[in-house]
Amino acid sequence: MSDNAIAKARAQIDAAGSQRPQIKSFFDHATNTISYVVHDPATRRAAVIDSVLDYDPAAGRTSFASADTIIAHVKAEALTVDWLLETHAHADHLSAAPYLQEKLGGKIAIGEHIVTVQRNFGKLFNAGSDFQRDGSDFDHLWADGDQFRIGEIPVTVLHVPGHTPADNAYVVGDAVFVGDTMFMPDYGTARADFPGGDARQLFRSLRRILELPPQTRLFMCHDYLPEGRDNYVWETTVADERAHNIHAHDGVDEDAFVAMREARDIALSMPRLIMPSIQVNMRAGHMPAPEDNGIRYLKIPVNAV
């Protein structure tokens, strides 16, 4: 079966030439998350990918040090932010997209399958009729194979479900921002046991990404320092992943991957910030509406997950 989206992405990467984005990474130690500012050096138009809002769960307080570092970089480089891109509704950190939008502008965008996540978790959190489960909290929803530009640099969107139903990878020039679909070769791949996750879908999404040209640069959303490595890293290539990914290197078949992934996932604990993160991120980074006392609340369902 032909894969038109992958064909578009391959053609884009092969034709990239000098149209390579400038990429600045920001590592958040509290959540092991890497955010990115990606810009076109010719036009200085930019996108922010997977931003982090600082959150103290014990105090229920948010702060903006991580996002302010991004803002300082954007201003120092005289960039114009057109897009605030989310690879998926993260379960390990809260998005700072609304705060960045207020300070820098840009449209908040995610994959169109966020509506599935909103339906699943809207029900879990008893979000009520004021929470629209149609993706309208976001400014734009992407479909598989959609194309747009950051300045003059082309971008192709790939739908890569499995970790969640709504995961996207963004192919920007010759670089791919893979979200949580995969990690560095020595750490492997994402879990697939969240509501709507599917290990078989995840394997097929991994193989789609690994069909891209071998020199393609891959940028991770997380690094967790596997045993034997003491420095954080988050950039690799398709060739390195195909040769060395401990879960999904060439030669691993789908059934073996699914058996491995499902066995590993059973033993994993839930992410520390999953409850607040999903409630906020399914709303495009916005908090739930204030209640009649003027205070906003994040819920914790008991014995429901």
Q: Does 264 have pLDDT greater than 90?
A: yes
pTM (two decimals): 0.96
Range 183-198 average pLDDT: 96
- In this prediction, residue 19 carries a pLDDT of 81
| Per-residue pLDDT reduced to its tens digit, 143-165 | 999 999 999 999 999 999 999 99
Residues of the chain with pLDDT > 70, as a percent, come to 100
Q: How far is CA 83 from the centre of its chain?
A: 14
Mean pLDDT computed over every residue of the chain: 96
- In this prediction, residue 1 carries a pLDDT of 57
Range 194-205 average pLDDT: 96
Exposed/middle/buried for 254, CB within 10 Å: 0-12, 13-18, 19+?
A: middle
Range 292-303 average pLDDT: 94
- In this prediction, residue 117 carries a pLDDT of 95
| Per-residue pLDDT reduced to its tens digit, 36-71 | 999 999 999 999 999 999 999 999 999 999 999 999
